[in-house]
Amino acid sequence: MTDANEILSVVDKHVNPDRFRDQHWEGTFQDYLAIVLRNPNVARNAFQRIYDMIMHFGYERYTHLREEMIRYKFFSDPIDNGKDAIFGLDKPLMNLVDFFKSAAHQYGTERRILLLHGPVGSSKSTIARLLKKGLEYYSRLEEGALYTFSWEIPDENGRIVSHPCPMHEEPLKLIPIEAREDVLARINEELPEGRRIHVEGALDPFCRRMFEDLLVRHDGDWRKVVEHVKVRRLILSERDRVGIGTFQPKDEKNQDST
């Protein structure tokens, strides 16, 4: 007869404390800079990350009607053993991956809105579901790690209160724009084109206000400002609305709207 210890042992086999600690890493901004210098991939943009996620699962080449084709294994849904596998759409999926690759290389498609257009039952929703599922899975792997930050601010009683960045911004955005080009040049100096890190835009309004207030408090000392920053590992989750959003059409009964 099975006893409680056997049940606990079964659970232990599926729970990895080391992996948990890796996925919940926290450190200073300087700690994060050291991580970026060792592995610049942690600061990839969304297009680079999606493309790398697809390529992580591999691909195979074959010839169809004298045309060289590529079948990306990601779209066979290896994460869920084929539950959302897509069949017969290798050509459109090749075009989709080419879009992500072009955007990852900053060829211009990163400035376009991607629309999946097709009749009912043509796997549009399945493709979107696969991409979301893949990003969640990939963000839990070491090669898919990404990071965000919180502001650690003392309250009137001296207790530290954590204020997470609401937009889960890339911590490198804390580097002032006037210094960013030089910093990125040092990070990218040995990286090939297409693997280089691009950090564009400003912080979200909340973080920008926090940054500016702290800059005033510390009389313009940027280093003291980032001492209030705690960087942490970010795990993407559609269910928790972390990094992945979902928009439902107004008329859910109209499948043409999905």
Q: Give 203's DSSP letter.
A: P
pLDDT means per 10 residues in the chain (258 residues)?
A: 80 84 94 95 93 96 91 96 93 95 88 88 91 96 96 92 95 95 92 87 95 96 96 94 78 56
CA distance 122 to 91: 13
Question: In 3D, which of 50, 47, 41 has the Cα closest to residue 196?
Answer: 41
The confidence score (pLDDT) of residue 192 equals 87
Q: What is the pLDDT of residue 252?
A: 56
pLDDT of residue 149: 97
8 Å CB contact between 167 and 234: no
The contacts of residue 148 (CB under 8 Å, 6+ apart) are 164, 165, 168, 169, 170, 171, 231, 232, 234
Its sign, for the CA torsion 36, 42, 46, 52, is: positive
pLDDT tens string 98-109: 999 999 988 888
- Burial call 243-256: b when 16+ CB within 10 Å, e when fewer: bbeeeeeeeeeeee
Over residues 233-256, the pLDDT tens digits come to 999 999 998 988 877 666 655 655
- Which residue, chain included where needed, has tokens 């697809």? 54
The pLDDT assigned to 258 comes to 47
Q: What is the pTM of this model?
A: 0.87
Rounded CA separation 35/33 (Å): 5
What are the residues facing 148 on neighbouring strands?
Answer: 232
Bridge partners, 151 (sequence order): 163, 229
